[in-house]
Amino acid sequence: MLIFAAILGIFVYGMIAAMLGTILPDLSDRFKLTPSQNGTIAFSQALGLMIASLGVGPLLDTQGDKIGIVLGLVFIAIALFGLPRSGGFGSIAVLMFLLGIGGGIVVTGANALTFAVSPDHQATASNLVNLFFGLGGLLTPFISANLFKRNWVRLCYTIAVLTVIVAVYQIAVPMPAPAGGSGSIFTQAGPILGQPILYLLGLFLFLYISCEVGVWNWLVRHLIAQGIPEGRALNILSLGFALGLLIGRVVISQVLKSVPAVEVTLGASIAMAITTFLMLRTNKPGMAGVLVFIAGLAMAPVFPTTLAITGTAFPHMTGTAIGFVISCGWAGLAVSSRIIGAIAGGDPLRLKKALLLIPASALLMVGLNVAIWAVLP
């Protein structure tokens, strides 16, 4: 029941992670949003994710995972019910900030719960649970393109209702008592904040999230600018990238039984740099779909395996450590979205140049991975 609770939380997060990239073309057309405004909207979501992940870790350690997961799901539901009633750029940015708050709380709480349930197999368990992120990310654009015919209002309401149902389940399931002990959360968090490995892992996830969410938020717009129809572009995002993430995490969960986690993240970083560069070089739908799928496979193990490395390095105050590392990741989303939007400016055709930030970040991950390997205990 506890693993299923974590799976449901990650699944909902996967659906909302793909939400902005799925509805952004329609929002841009309806409200005449520029690429720069798109970048600001993505930044507001990233800011919410970053603040929530940083703040919720000590809460999870001292009050338990249940309160965090349920609170995050409530924020998500409120944001999704509110988006169809938004009046323009300002209200969309506020609601995406709230959606980010909810998402940041849920993903931190669900991963902390996974590590509490499977302390001896954290990397394998994390990849298995987080494969449902890929499933959620696959379903959002797929449902939008094939069932709702890009009716983004119906999409928002449907995922909002699902989120409420998941919140009810989380409330009903008994969860472990807090593992962080008593006393001031700041006093307890102090010792882990002095360890260099925490900052290396945070910077590594900063670069990775710049890559992954860059694909979620901008790939559909990029493909449309290359002349690919919107429906086909949405299917490339769902049946290409999201499916690659899902399948990759199934496969890597078995690989991690015999291969050290840090070696997996190194290989994934190299593959990311190559595949993301190539996927930006084609305007053929078939080839784009194949390359995006392979890029999804390459990215699949990085997020959950990095969190597993964090959980292993910090067996006490795990929620705080995970929250800090994830918060660094969301900072990558905030920075990359602003840079991509600024480079693209008002010309969607310049987005291709802006998205070269993704393979460049992956190259930096390779060097950083070697540094993490060197300092791991």
- pLDDT over threshold 80, residue 240: yes
- pLDDT over threshold 90, residue 217: no
Q: What is the pLDDT of residue 50?
A: 83
CATH of the domain at 46: 1.20.1250.20
List pLDDT tens digits, range 146-182: 888 778 888 999 999 999 999 999 999 887 766 554 4
Q: How many domains does the chain have?
A: 1
End-to-end, the C-alpha distance of the chain in Å comes to: 33
List pLDDT tens digits, range 319-374: 778 888 888 887 887 788 778 878 877 666 688 888 999 999 999 999 999 999 88
Count Cβ atoms within 10 A of the Cβ of residue 214 and give its class: 0-12 exposed, 13-18 middle, 19 or more buried: buried
Most confident of 25-34, 243-252, 290-299: 290-299
- pLDDT over threshold 80, residue 224: yes
Using pLDDT thresholds of 50, 70 and 90, give the confidence band for residue 72.
Answer: very high
CB 110 within 8 A of CB 175: no
* Three-state secondary-structure class, residue 100: helix
In one letter, which amino acid is 91? Answer: S
Using pLDDT thresholds of 50, 70 and 90, give the confidence band for residue 272.
Answer: very high
- pLDDT over threshold 50, residue 261: yes
- pLDDT over threshold 50, residue 21: yes
The residues, ordered by sequence, that sit 6+ positions from 79 with a Cβ below 8 Å of its Cβ are 95, 96, 98, 99, 102
- pLDDT over threshold 80, residue 134: no
The dihedral built from the CA positions of residue 40, 44, 49 and 51, taken in this order, carries a sign that is: positive
- pLDDT over threshold 50, residue 184: no
Q: What is the pLDDT of residue 208?
A: 95
pLDDT over 90, % of the chain:
31
Which of the residue ranges 44-58, 174-188, 287-301 would you say has the lowest mean pLDDT? Answer: 174-188
Return the higher-pLDDT residue of 162 and 238.
162
Consecutive H or E run containing 5: helix 2-17
Q: What is the pLDDT of residue 337?
A: 72
Retrieve residue 111's tokens. Answer: 């991963």
pLDDT over 70, % of the chain:
92
- pLDDT over threshold 90, residue 111: no
Rounded to an integer, the average pLDDT of 73-95 is: 92
Return the higher-pLDDT residue of 185 and 269.
269
Using pLDDT thresholds of 50, 70 and 90, give the confidence band for residue 311.
Answer: confident
In one letter, which amino acid is 229? Answer: P
**33-61 b/e with 16+ CB inside 10 Å = b?**
bbbebbbbbbbbbbbbbbbbbbbbbbbbb
In one letter, which amino acid is 298? Answer: A
Q: What is the pLDDT of residue 179?
A: 59
- pLDDT over threshold 90, residue 98: yes
Which of the residue ranges 96-100, 168-172, 307-311 would you say has the lowest mean pLDDT? Answer: 307-311
Mean pLDDT of the chain: 84
In one letter, which amino acid is 301? Answer: P
**Structural domain range at position 262:** 2-375
Return the higher-pLDDT residue of 258 and 179.
258
Q: What is the pLDDT of residue 375?
A: 85
